[in-house]
Amino acid sequence: MANTNDIEKIVIPTEGIGSVPRTADLMTAQHNYRDGRINLGRLNDYYKRATQLTIEELENTGSPIITDGEQTKPSFLTYPIFELFDEYYKFTSDCFALKFADGHKRLLPRLIKAPFRYAIYAHSYIDAAKQITKLPIKQAVITPSALSMIYPKATIRGYSHEQFLNDLIVESERDIRQCLDSGAYCVQLDFTEARFSLKLDPTGQLLSDFVQINNRVLDRFGFHEQHRLGVHVCPGGDLDCYHSFDVDYLQVLPTLFELHVSNFYVQLASEPNRERVLVCIRKYMKPWHRVFVGVINPIDPIVETPEQVCARVLEAANYIPVEQLGTTDDCGFSPFDDDQSTSRQIAFDKIRARVQGTHMAEEQLMMRKLKNL
């Protein structure tokens, strides 16, 4: 009989997506700042405190890899350009809009002044988080494909669409690379528009165009760097509803795996038929991919038990090799800073269940491995 001490232990990595609901004090401070009752310096004090509290809470869940909870981001979508809204952008009737099932929309403004540039780079969030925690830090960034919708055609004199795309690619690469240089454990591109694109263009051409734009950035990184890069896809969770849950996941996944990254964070817990999704993932994933399956549904107010999470991990392990498997949440808990649909306590309880349930699955899979020796 083999010595059990010589058998490699099964480890299933688990990571969050990014956002956690903002603290109540921060939400109040943001309202007070917009109303002119406090200055920017005072608001920044609230940002720092909210980030510290969030990181401490995430550490208390047992999470091995954490984020800053995106406490200082206005949204996952607009953080690089938010500070330029007044000068460089305009909200018009034909703006790109993510339309959600309950009728509300999230808009991207139109670029009206060249050249395109970022005002904020995501490494600043990592630099702040490193002052608080010693744990590995994951950083989410927005895809260039999402930001491409701020200038879908040339409307600024002397600024072609291709010039815009070139500037976008340069800025997106800089955003990612500076995160890596700042010591990010991994960088995740938020690609929520992937599934939504099929509502705009059911032929899939827009989705293919999005993947091509993203690969223009990703191809600027070496294969070893791409191992620290990932992409997240979901039907968009905001204010307790989705923007593209009615789009068949199987129309998205084959194209998704054409992205030149190693890590894929896929919404799965909320899918009505997880098996058909897992069969598709198994078909299209590559040997160098790791697939983090969603085992937590942030929109469901009921907190999953560790046992439920464990069962979902074991189900996924029937289709995805354990050495290529990870766990995550279906989506962030508060991708926009005004989203209070989920409480912080529920979010942290769900994250804790994911961590504990993943460990339970590791133990059960290890027991199976030893039994089969």
The answer to whether residue 331 is domain-embedded is: yes
Closest CA to 331 of 267, 242, 245: 267
Q: What is the CATH number of the domain that holds 327?
A: 3.20.20.210
Q: Tell me, yes or no, whether 214 lies in a domain.
A: yes
Helix (H, G, I), strand (E, B) or coil at 169: helix
Separation of alpha carbons 46 and 65, rounded Å: 24
Would you say residue 6 lies in a domain? no
12-45 per-position pLDDT tens digit = 999 999 999 999 999 999 999 999 999 999 999 9
347, 318 in Cβ contact below 8 A?
Answer: no
2 lies in some domain: no
Domain residues for the domain of 344 are 14-372
pLDDT tens, 226-267?
999 999 999 988 888 889 999 999 999 999 999 999 999 999
Pairing of strands 110-111, 89-90: antiparallel
Number of domains in the chain: 1
Token pair, residue 299, equals 């929109």
The reply to whether 98 falls in a domain is yes
Instruction: Inform me whether the pLDDT recorded for 90 exceeds 70.
Output: yes
pLDDT at 239: 85
Q: Answer yes or no: is 7 within a domain.
A: no
| Residue at 259 is within a domain | yes
The mean pLDDT of 67-80, rounded to a whole number, is: 95
How much is the mean pLDDT over the chain? 95
8 is a domain residue:
no
What was the pLDDT predicted at 40?
A: 92
Q: Which residues contact 82 (CB under 8 A, 6 or more apart)?
A: 74, 75, 119, 120
Q: What is the pLDDT of residue 339?
A: 87
Enclosing H/E stretch for 28:
helix 24-34
* DSSP H or E segment with residue 293: strand 290-296
